[in-house]
């Protein structure tokens, strides 16, 4: 077995390179419990919850989210990774707009499979290392830990932003029981820019870094289980029926991001060709199309609600 103490830095670099080899765009390591910044991010989460800005996303209230150690006994470090979901084939339509994150294969499955391969690879060299995979369904301060590991900074639109890949990233984490060499945390490079705040049609970014879900198009098209939308959201849909990329599209850091050319990021054919005929699809047709995508979170009746609301205001 490798002497991890003597070769900690060497193996940490090897681990990050392995993540890139498996198909991630970026990777970094953070030590647990992290710097004082994590405490500040936790306090910010508590204020966000106290203002009920999470609306019906009650899973955000999970106490485990405030303590990464509760997810794995003996946790000492965390490998953080970013999957670039930006494809050159992403469709940009005037109608029937779908957030880029959801147009391809389900990123939860993609990230989980890649991290599982990395975990098994770690155990070929360090059999005693325990690990736990976390994607965004786990109670974890994902963006805060990604920032801590040097993957990027949390922008004013609350997305993680990387110098090279902008915010077109979904995040994954491998919590580890070994103490690997951490990377330097990232510093914000948003500067005085507030394009994301200025361009949000519903004013969902109430202040830098703070999103009020009740005003957010993405929240309502994906999470809202009511039969109708609030009027202040409905009138600003402007084609969005699943998610919303406005605050990312206008970000200067997203202008020259390299495309992910793997099939994993390619939009599904039905997404590229979605039109008004979809209102006549039965539940079976919807479920067939949604299979293997993150978009299955939006139920067939919600798609029809979203499309009708969008068409009504165009």
Region 287-292 average pLDDT: 95
Residue 45 CB burial class (10 angstroms; 0-12, 13-18, ≥19): middle
* pTM for the whole structure: 0.92
pLDDT, position 41: 81
Angle, helix 107-125 to helix 8-21, in steps of 10 degrees: 140
pLDDT, position 2: 47
Spell out the domains of the chain, with CATH numbers in brackets.
8-90+105-176 (3.40.109), 195-312 (no CATH)
pLDDT, position 154: 96
**Structure confidence by residue, pLDDT tens digits, 227-236:** 999 999 999 9
Residue 62 pLDDT > 70, yes or no?
Answer: no
* Centroid of chain to Cα 24: 14
Phi, psi of 103 (to 5 degrees): -80, -25
Residue 175, H or E segment: strand 169-176
pLDDT, position 60: 66
Residue 102 region by backbone torsions, left for phi larger than 0, else alpha for psi between -120 and 50, else beta? alpha
Among 136, 183, 249, 282, the one annotated catalytic: 136
Residue 289 pLDDT > 60, yes or no?
Answer: yes
pLDDT, position 132: 96
Annotated catalytic residue 136: yes
pLDDT, position 219: 96
The tokens for 9 are 């830095």
């Amino acid at each position: 077995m490798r002497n991890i103490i003597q070769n900690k830095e060497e193996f940490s670099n090897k681990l990050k390179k392995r993540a890139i080899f498996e198909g991630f765009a970026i990777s970094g390591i953070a030590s647990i419990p992290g710097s004082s910044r994590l405490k500040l991010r936790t306090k910010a989460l508590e204020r966000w919850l106290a203002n009920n800005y999470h609306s019906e996303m009650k899973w955000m209230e999970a106490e485990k989210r405030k303590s990464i150690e509760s997810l794995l006994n003996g946790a000492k470090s965390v490998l953080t990774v970013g999957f670039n979901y930006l494809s050159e084939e992403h469709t940009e339509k005037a109608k029937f707009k779908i957030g880029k994150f959801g147009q391809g294969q389900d990123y939860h499955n993609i990230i989980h499979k890649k991290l599982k391969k990395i975990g098994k690879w770690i155990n070929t060299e360090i059999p005693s290392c325990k690990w736990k995979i976390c994607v965004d369904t786990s109670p974890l301060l994902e963006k805060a830990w990604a920032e801590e590991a040097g993957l990027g900074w949390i922008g004013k639109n609350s997305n993680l932003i990387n110098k090279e890949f902008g915010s077109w990233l979904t995040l994954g984490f491998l919590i580890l029981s070994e103490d690997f060499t951490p990377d330097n945390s990232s510093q914000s490079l948003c500067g005085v820019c507030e394009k994301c705040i200025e361009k949000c049609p519903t004013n969902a970014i109430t202040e830098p870094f703070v999103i009020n879900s009740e005003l957010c198009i993405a929240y309502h098209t994906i999470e809202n289980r009511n039969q109708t939308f609030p009027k202040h959201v409905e009138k600003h849909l402007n084609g969005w029926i699943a998610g919303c990329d406005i605050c990312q599209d206008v970000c200067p850091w997203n202008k020259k991001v390299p495309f992910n050319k793997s099939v994993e990021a390619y939009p599904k054919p039905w997404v590229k060709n979605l039109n008004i005929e979809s209102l006549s699809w039965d539940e079976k047709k919807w479920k067939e199309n949604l299979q293997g995508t993150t978009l299955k979170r939006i139920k067939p009746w919600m798609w029809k609600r979203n499309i009708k609301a969008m068409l009504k205001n165009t």
